[in-house]
């Protein structure tokens, strides 16, 4: 059994929201839940989160979506390259979390405990 960690961070790499799902579940449905209650000017996301529903949610937030289009999308949505480069903040956030052995190996059986350790470890990550 595997677990996917979906996270929303601000521009400095501080954790705003966290959702855990099963490893085989899709990313796009979780992306909508991840955006609920957040305010942002820009939303940067990977191709796994490329869906019309997420783009509509971002539009309703009065924000600009910079989501890399999936390869199978018929009409490719454009993404500003200079802005998409800042997506490395979330990659560095996950890299910093993996330094904590308890998180990298996931000793916790219960997802609530694992999420708690993720939140706790995020307090000790370097903010960029």
Q: Which residue has the tokens 């979330």?
A: 90
Check: pTM over 0.75? Answer yes or no.
Answer: yes
Which domains does the chain show, CATH number per domain?
A: 3-122 (3.30.420)
Task: Please report which confidence band the pLDDT of residue 128 belongs to, taking 50, 70 and 90 as the band edges.
Answer: low
Q: Report the pLDDT averaged over residues 75-99.
A: 84
Q: At what angle do helices 52-60 and 28-35 cross, to 10 degrees?
A: 10
Task: Please answer whether residues 48 and 27 qualify as being in contact, where contact means their C-beta atoms are separated by less than 8 angstroms.
Answer: yes
Residue 76 pLDDT: 75
- Mean pLDDT over the full length of the chain: 87
As given in the structure block, the two tokens for residue 108 are 């916790």
- pLDDT of 89 higher than 80: yes
């Amino acid at each position: 059994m595997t677990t996917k960690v979906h996270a929303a961070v601000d521009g400095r790499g501080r954790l705003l929201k966290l959702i855990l799902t099963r490893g085989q579940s899709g990313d796009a449905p979780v992306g909508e839940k991840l955006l609920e209650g957040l305010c942002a000017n820009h939303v940067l996301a990977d191709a796994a989160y490329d869906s019309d529903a997420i783009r509509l949610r971002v539009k309703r937030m009065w924000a600009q979506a910079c989501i890399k289009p999936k390869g199978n999308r018929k009409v490719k949505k454009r993404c500003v390259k200079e802005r998409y480069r800042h997506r490395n903040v979330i990659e560095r956030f996950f890299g910093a979390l993996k330094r904590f052995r308890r998180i990298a190996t996931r000793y916790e059986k219960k997802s609530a405990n694992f999420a708690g350790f993720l939140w706790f470890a995020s307090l000790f990550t370097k903010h960029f």
